[in-house]
Chain A
Amino acid sequence: MADRGTKMIKLRISRYRPERSGEPFDQEFTIPYRDDMVVLDALNYIKDHIDPTLTYRWSCRMGICGSCGANVDGTPKLTCALYLRDLKKRPVLIEPLANFAVLKDLVVDIEPFMEKLEAAKPYIIRKDERPIERGEYRQTPEELELYRQQSLCINCMLCYSACPVYGHDEKFLGPAASALALRYELDSRDQGSEERLAAVATEHGIWQCTFVGECSVVCPKHVDPAGAIQQLKALAATRLMKAMLLPLAPR
C-alpha cells in the first residue's frame, strides 16, 4: 500500500453489473497518484490492486486506437490522454460515454456507431475500375491534403457522446460518420460522390445537424466533424441547385 507522504486521489466511477444489479451505481476509490498519471493509469491501478472486476476498454495508451473514451467530469475524453493533475474536481467523476447503452461499467455498446460508419459508404467507389496491371490510382500531395484532416478520425466516438442531437435521436447519422463521408467525397480517386451524398444528405443524415459544434471541440484528432457536416450541406445544396437550374449539365 501507499507510503506516508504519497499523494492520494479520489475517483468516483460509474459501475454497471448486468448480472448483479439492475441500475448503474457509483463507487468511490482512493488511490495513490503521481503527477505523470493519466486517467487510464488510475483505472489500471484500480483493476490491478483493488477491484479486478472493473471493466473498461483500452489498448494503445497513445491516443490512436480510440478505444479508451469515457466521460470524465462530464466531458468525453480519451482516458489515456488526460492527466489527473489537469482535473480540478474531487472526486474525479468517470462515466461511460454518454448517448450509448452501457454494457458493463465503462463499456458501451458500439454497434449503432458501426452501422452509421457503414451507412456513410466509407470506401472508394469507381465507375471505371482499372485493371490491376495498370497500377494504383495515383494522387498528388495537394490532392491528399484536401481530405487529410477528415482522414485522421480514430473512431473513438467522443463526438457522438458530445452531440446533443444524437442524444436526442439515435437515428441521426452523427459527426464521425459524416466526416468520413466528406473524406471520401474529397478524395480525387473517388467517383461515387452522387451515391454517397444521396446516402448522407437525408433527414436523419447531415440535415439533422443543428450545428451545436461540440463534436469538434471534443475531437482529440482535430477532425472538425461539425465543419465537415457544413461542407457536406453546402455540397449537397449546390448539387441540388445545379440539377434544378442546369438539368442537362454533367454532374
Chain B
Amino acid sequence: MAVETVRKPYVRQRSAWWWTKNPRYVLFQFRELSSVFVVLYAFLVLWQLWALRGGSDAYYAFLVMWYSRPMMALNAVILAFAILHSVTWFALTAKVPLFRIKGRPPPAALVIGASLAIWVALSLLIVKLLYGGF
C-alpha cells in the first residue's frame, strides 16, 4: 500500500525590516546606501562644472549656493557615507591575501592598517595640492 505523504514544506516570508534585527545588517544596508550619496556627489561636481562653463557670474551664484548651510549639511552627510564606504572597503582588503610572508598570509591588521595609512596619506596630498600648505 502506498504511504500517503503529508510533506508540506512551509516557506516563511522575510519581513521588510529584516535588516533592523542585527547591527551588522544595519551597517551593511548603510554601506549599500552610501553608493546613492556617492552618485549624488558626482552629479554635484557635474553641476559645478556646468556653472563654471556659464561664466564668472554663474559660478559665483553656484558658490553662494555651495556654501549655504543646507548644502554644507548635505556635503557633511555625503562625506560621512564616503568615509563609511571607504573604511569598510579597506577592511575587506585583508580578506584577499595577494602575497605571503614565510608561506603565510600577512596579518589582517597589517594589511588594513597599511591600506588605511596609504589612503589617508594620498587624501592629504590631494588636499595639499588643492589648497596649498597646512
Residues of chain A with a CB closer than 8 A to B28's CB: 164, 210, 212-214
Q: Are B32 and A103 in contact (CB under 8 A)?
A: no
Answer yes or no: B68 CB below 8 A from chain A CBs: no
Residues of chain B with a CB closer than 8 A to A103's CB: 7, 9-10
Residues of chain B with a CB closer than 8 A to A164's CB: 18-19, 25, 28
Distance in angstroms from B90 CB to nearest chain A CB is 13
* Interface footprint category on B: 20 to 34
Q: Are A74 and B21 in contact (CB under 8 A)?
A: yes
Bound Cα distance A16, B12 (Å): 11
Bound Cα distance A128, B118 (Å): 45
Q: Are A102 and B95 in contact (CB under 8 A)?
A: no
Distance in angstroms from A234 CB to nearest chain B CB is 5
Answer yes or no: A142 CB below 8 A from chain B CBs: yes
Residues of chain A with a CB closer than 8 A to B24's CB: 212-214, 217
Residues of chain B with a CB closer than 8 A to A109's CB: 9
Number of residues in A with C-beta < 8 Å to the partner? 31
Q: Are A101 and B10 in contact (CB under 8 A)?
A: yes
Answer yes or no: B8 CB below 8 A from chain A CBs: yes
Residues of chain B with a CB closer than 8 A to A19's CB: 6
Residues of chain A with a CB closer than 8 A to B7's CB: 18, 103
Distance in angstroms from A168 CB to nearest chain B CB is 8
Bound Cα distance A24, B98 (Å): 48
Bound Cα distance A27, B22 (Å): 24
Q: Are A101 and B6 in contact (CB under 8 A)?
A: no
Q: Are B9 and A211 in contact (CB under 8 A)?
A: no
Q: Are A231 and B10 in contact (CB under 8 A)?
A: no
Interface residues of chain B, those whose CB is within 8 Å of chain A, are 6-12, 14, 18-19, 21-22, 24-25, 28, 32, 92, 95-98, 103-104
Apart from the given pairs A23-B10, A145-B104, A164-B19, 16 other A-B contacts in the complex at a CB distance below 8 Å:
A18-B10, A24-B10, A99-B14, A101-B9, A101-B10, A101-B12, A102-B9, A103-B7, A164-B25, A164-B28, A210-B28, A212-B24, A212-B25, A214-B24, A227-B96, A233-B96
29 residue pairs of the A-B complex, CB under 8 angstroms, read A18-B6, A18-B7, A18-B8, A23-B10, A24-B10, A24-B12, A74-B22, A75-B22, A98-B12, A98-B14, A101-B11, A102-B10, A103-B10, A145-B103, A164-B18, A164-B28, A167-B14, A167-B18, A168-B14, A210-B32, A212-B28, A214-B24, A214-B28, A217-B24, A227-B96, A230-B92, A230-B95, A231-B97, A234-B96
